[in-house]
Amino acid sequence: MSEAAKNMVKQELTINREALNERYLGLSTTIGRLKADVFEYITERARSKMNGWGEKNLSCVGKEVLLKSVVQALPTYSMSCFKLSKTMCKKLASNMVKFWWSGKLDRRSLHWISWNNLFLSKAMGGMGFRDLQLFNLALLAKQGWRLLTNPNSLCSRVLKGRYFPDQDFMAARIPRRASATWRAIAAGKEALKVGIIYRIGNGERVSIWDDNWIPGSWRLKPMRSLTDHSLRRVSELIDHGRWNENIIKETFLAPDAEAILNIPLRTD
């Protein structure tokens, strides 16, 4: 971007001073390609916290509370904006394991069960600790959900103008020179796709075969039948605000057809 363009953006956004060397909630205001160095402060702060607690001879309950309320909370802000590497998540989890079983990071001890089992809820025999990689994806999926539900926000409009000007967020791709932020949100989008389901209005933007739109179905989308049809959009199954029962019964298997006909159409 040219200096003239930069100055124009600064003027439009009323940016009077660039704090390129400062931090916000521990995170640098500028993120380059070497993200591992930028996020190293998370593991260092976690180690510092746990080393300090190691001198207090804490009970299991005390260690549980500190790990959940302090250590697991440290990367929350960074995880909301960026996808941390598997190496960093494993490093942080490894230190938590050592502290949980021995009370100190420099003391070896027997691990009675695997750390993966400690991720399980207490009702399932675990301790309810977070799987940091999954938690990271959940936070990024939440950002994607905000783009979907708040399309007029400044963040949504900026990202749409840059990465998906002619399509919706769920169909957006990752260009070769995409920013770290967009790559992270795109990773969250893949997690979002698993559980998101469309509420059908006119159905013009919903793919019959690729999008999730049938509630109550284990696949959330219909099975492909052997009937040769060129139908692509859900709107092709709707006639004057009502489901076209004949086309639906001819196109889909009986369970899917019944589920589709039971879907109420939005009129707003």
- Is the pLDDT at 72 greater than 70? The verdict is yes
pLDDT tens per residue across span 164-221: 999 889 889 999 889 888 999 999 998 888 888 999 999 998 999 988 999 988 889 9
Q: What pLDDT does 26 receive? A: 61
Residues with Cβ within 8 Å of 51's Cβ and at least 6 positions away in sequence, in order, are 104, 105
Report CA-CA distances (Å) from 90 to 4, 52, 94.
Answer: 44, 21, 6
Q: Please check whether residue 84 is in contact with residue 78, taking contact to mean a CB–CB distance below 8 angstroms.
A: yes
| Residues facing 207 on adjacent strands | 233
Residue 207 φ/ψ, nearest 5 degrees: -80, 130
Q: Across the chain, what does the average pLDDT equal?
A: 86
Residue found by looking up tokens 């859900």 in the block: 234
- CA dist., res. 264 & res. 153, Å (int): 29
- CA dist., res. 169 & res. 151, Å (int): 9
pLDDT tens per residue across span 127-153: 899 999 999 999 999 999 999 999 999
Domain segments of the chain: what residues?
3-130, 135-194, 197-268
Residue 148 φ/ψ, nearest 5 degrees: -70, -40
Lowest mean pLDDT among 6-15, 47-56, 89-98, 140-149: 6-15
DSSP 38-104: HTHHHHHHHHHHHHHHGGG---HHHHHHHIIIIITTTTHHHHHHS---HHHHHHHHHHHHHHHHHSS
Longest dimension (CA), the chain: 74
Up-side HSE of residue 206: CA atoms within 13 Å toward CB? Answer: 21
CA 81 to chain centre: 10
- CA dist., res. 147 & res. 206, Å (int): 17
Query: CA 158, 172, 77: angle at the middle one, nearest 5?
Result: 60
